[in-house]
Amino acid sequence: MYTLRWLPPYDWEWMFGFLKMRAVEGVEVFSDGRYTRSFALDGHRGLMVLEPDENTQTLRVTLSDGLLPVADACLERIERLLDLQCDPQAVSRALGPLGAPRPGLRLPGALDAFEQGIRAILGQLVSVTMAAKLTAKVVHTCGAPLENEPGFYCFPTPQQLAQADPLRLKSLGMPLKRAEALIHLANATLSGELPLTAPDNIEQGMKSLQSFPGIGRWTANYFALRGWQAKDVFLPDDYLIKQRFPGMTPAQIRRYAERWQPWRSYALLHIWYTDDWSPDIS
């Protein structure tokens, strides 16, 4: 067992709730305060079990034997997924009154940027629940069962999805263009065209993503937010954000959000999850 630490406060109920809503059958399970999921890295495959202990402010991590050769890399990815390196005091100082009601909110990241890109594409124009169900179909069709762990599959690798039949993917319940976008993303990952870690210039990186088939501005921004865990991304043309800023154009919203730099990603989360929030336009 391994132990990771975080700086309080940390809203574990919210974080696990966020991830549980998006959990993919066959990949992820939440039970008894634990998060269990399959994972594959550099040819090594296995299960990881994550269990926070708020009394000691530690996260207990158990890796199955298959992941032990890449344990250090797994721990780094878990820290990114759960934003364990965040300094909540620095974020609170920047957000001011916006962040005060929920100081333990963290930015959900991803264990694997490619996986997050696939999830983002599959989540377009459908509910969170439907996106998770569709992603599970892709996993069961293109992924491989995890040895000695009945019911668990590993998320498809770029190699597996690059070889997928777009018509077979379409038959799972998605438009053909979306199926082709998944295959393009897989090939872009294999070629290095898709950066799997945050580029130095996030804005340029998001613009480059929009040249990929099936990836518009919202998806590119959301991928940067979670796949790269970029800390300073805001989505001024997001549907819910526009509702929170009635009467303001996306350009006006973008200018308003500049007050929260360099932590606009956290500001975005707080606005999304605070129903009665409204901008101060005095």
Element (H, E) at 176: helix 176-191
Please provide the DSSP assignment of 185-196 as one string: HHHHHHHT-S-S
Q: In the chain, how long is the greatest CA-to-CA distance? A: 61
Q: Which residues belong to the active site?
A: 238
Three-class secondary structure of residue 43 per DSSP? coil
Rounded Cα distance between 275 and 267, Å, is: 14
Dihedral angle sign, alpha carbons of residues 189, 119, 22, 144: negative
Question: Cα–Cα distances in Å, from 151 out to 16, 20, 62, 215, 246?
Answer: 21, 17, 19, 32, 46
For residue 152, give both structure tokens. 């668990």
Cis status, amide bond into 156, omega within 30 of 0: no
- Which residue is associated with the tokens 């296995």? 46
Residues in the chain: 282
